[in-house]
């Protein structure tokens, strides 16, 4: 069984999960919005979110855990992710007449310990819809943070300014994404077993 690191304050993590038995997590557009609303309610109070991508049967997030002094209560990120998954699964089970677990038992997380790979991971996350054949151009995919990070002046819960700073600004962000994701595929931040099983 894979051992995952604890989610510790001040550290960055690539967080991911998929549907139990590779089942779809999102069946229609309203499911994606509902998941993000539940994420904002359950998880966002204790983490900063830098990038995300929700795909039909799995998702990816880049987060940093906030200092414990900033948490609204004693529930840390692991408990809050569990609450998110439980809340979302109950709603999906009710809506579609299904029973049982919707998510894999344990969600994956990889600590990001190198600043060099933060930008690579953002590109990797945003390229997922194209890599898995959901769209021909990842920039058109509606359920990732790519467009929100470029929408200057529009409200967002994402840490937009920090992300763009990793790329030297919006032009660097676009250029890095246009260059492809070969570097991010080579990065030791990705659980290749997970990627090949979605």
Using the structure block, give the residue that is written with the tokens 């692991």: 78
Residue 2 inside a domain? The answer is no
Give 67-114 pLDDT, tens digit per residue. 999 999 999 999 999 999 999 999 999 999 999 899 987 899 999 988
Give the CA angle between residues 181, 133, 92 to the nearest 5°.
Answer: 110
> How far from each other are the two terminal CA atoms of the chain, in whole angstroms?
18
pTM of the model: 0.90
Q: State residue 2's pLDDT score.
A: 67
The Cα–Cα gap between 141 and 164 comes to: 19
Neighbours of 75 (CB within 10 A): 14
Q: State residue 181's pLDDT score.
A: 52
Residue 4 inside a domain? The answer is no
Residue 62 inside a domain? The answer is yes
Domain count for the chain: 1
Structure tokens at 57: 């049967």
Per-residue model confidence as pLDDT tens for the chain (198 residues): 567 889 999 999 999 999 998 899 999 999 999 999 999 999 999 999 999 999 999 999 999 999 999 999 999 999 999 999 999 999 999 999 999 899 987 899 999 988 778 999 999 999 999 999 999 999 999 999 999 999 988 999 999 999 999 999 999 999 999 987 554 444 444 554 545 455
Q: State residue 184's pLDDT score.
A: 45
What range does the domain containing 154 cover?
12-196
Residue 3 inside a domain? The answer is no
DSSP H/E element including 27: none
Residue 1 inside a domain? The answer is no
Residue 70 inside a domain? The answer is yes
Q: State residue 190's pLDDT score.
A: 53
Residue 80 inside a domain? The answer is yes
CATH classification at residue 68: 3.30.70.1290
């Amino acid at each position: 069984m894979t051992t995952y690191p604890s989610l510790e304050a001040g550290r960055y993590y690539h967080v991911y999960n998929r549907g139990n038995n590779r089942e779809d997590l999102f069946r229609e557009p309203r499911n994606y919005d509902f998941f993000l609303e539940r994420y904002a309610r359950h998880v966002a109070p204790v983490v900063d979110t830098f990038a995300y991508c929700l795909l039909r049967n799995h998702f990816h997030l880049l987060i940093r855990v906030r200092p414990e002094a900033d948490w609204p209560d004693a529930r840390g990120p692991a408990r809050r992710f569990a609450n998110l998954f439980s809340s979302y699964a109950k709603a999906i089970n009710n809506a579609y007449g299904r029973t049982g677990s919707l998510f894999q038992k344990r969600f994956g997380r990889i600590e990001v310990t190198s600043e060099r790979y933060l930008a690579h991971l953002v590109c990797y996350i945003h390229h997922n819809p194209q890599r898995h054949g959901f769209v021909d151009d990842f920039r058109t995919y509606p359920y990732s943070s790519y467009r929100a990070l470029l929408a200057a002046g529009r409200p967002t819960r994402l840490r937009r300014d920090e992300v763009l700073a990793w790329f030297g600004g919006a032009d660097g962000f676009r250029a890095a994404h246009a260059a492809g994701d070969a570097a991010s595929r080579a990065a030791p931040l990705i659980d290749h077993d997970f990627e090949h099983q979605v």
